[in-house]
Every structure is written in C-alpha cells, then in structure tokens.
Amino acid sequence: MHELILGGQKSGKSRAAEARAAAWLATAGRDALLIATALAGDAEMAARIARHQLDRAARVPALRTLEEPRALAEALRLHAAPQRLLVIDCLTLWTTNLLMPMQGPRLDAAAWQATVDALLGALQAAAGPVVLVSNEIGLGLSPMSPEARHVVDALGALHQRIAGACERVTLMVAGRALNLPRENP
C-alpha cells in the first residue's frame, strides 16, 4: 500500500512516516529504507539535516537512510521490494532541487514532466509499500517571485498525481492526522 503524507512545516508528517516504518519493522523479515532528498546548501540546513538524522536514529534505529536528492525514480526502482517499506522524505525538497536548484540549471517544463512521469511509473511498479512525505505549501499566500510560484504550482500538481497513485492520503496538522477520502466531494 502506498501513502502520501502531507502537512506544513513541523506538522508531524516525518514522524508519522517514521511511525509507519516502525510498525512495518515490527514484523520479522521486513526492512525499511528512508530516501532523503535534502541538500545542505548552508550551515543551518546542514545542522537541520544532522538533527533529523540523530532524531530518526533514536526513534527508529532499524530505519536505514539513503541520500538521493534528485534521482528519485531510479532509487525507487532500485530499492523497492515486497518486504521493504520505502519512505521518501520529502517531495518538496526534491521538487525544489530540480526546479529551483541552489547550483546548476533547473529542469525545463518538458524535462520536469518526464521526471514526474518516471516517478509515477516507478511508484506504480513498486513491489513493496511506499510512504511519500511532502509539504502542503499551497495553503498560504502566493509567493512574490515567478520562480517560487512555479514551484508551488508544480508541487500542487505533483501532489495530485501522487495522491491518485496512493491508497491513502494523510494530512498532518499540529501532530494530528486527518485521513483524506479517496473520492472528490
């Protein structure tokens, strides 16, 4: 079963994903891998990543981590297995890495769509369960720059496509989970 966990910053979405991993790991013969997409572009982000790694290791010691900031579809294809839960944390940073990178060129519209299609294909073909974490950033004010608005729009469209491929979508608010129905109102 695949699940998309959405929420604002510090909403509890990563902890919810870690709880899914801990529950999965409670059954013998299973393993779990977190695919982390963050890049440490500055000292504060490096410290944030280190803090997340330490906290995660304390909460779910058996959850292994793979750093993969860009090639998410390939990582999903390579590591998906029936007895392995994959946690992807997070789609927001992955999208930013590709559409508003700190260094190097950004993907154009055609390359972005091909990358999203590849991710969806890998998700649909995944032999085991996948939990995807992402920030719901479309609830606030529209950003001032065209580049940031483009990322917000692209992320919203990505969320809709990922949600369509998931059996469960959970919205985290203040550490509380709201399971979203599959049907549209």
Q: Which residues carry out catalysis?
A: 52
- What letter does residue 42 receive in the DSSP assignment? S
Map tokens 């990358």 to a residue.
115
Tokens found for residue 175: 């550490």
CA distance 64 to 61: 8
Phi then psi for residue 173, to 5 deg, are -140, 120
Element (H, E) at 86: strand 84-89
Of all residues in the chain, what percent are helix, strand and coil, respectively (each to 5)? 45, 20, 35
Contact between 69 and 113 (Cβ < 8 Å): no
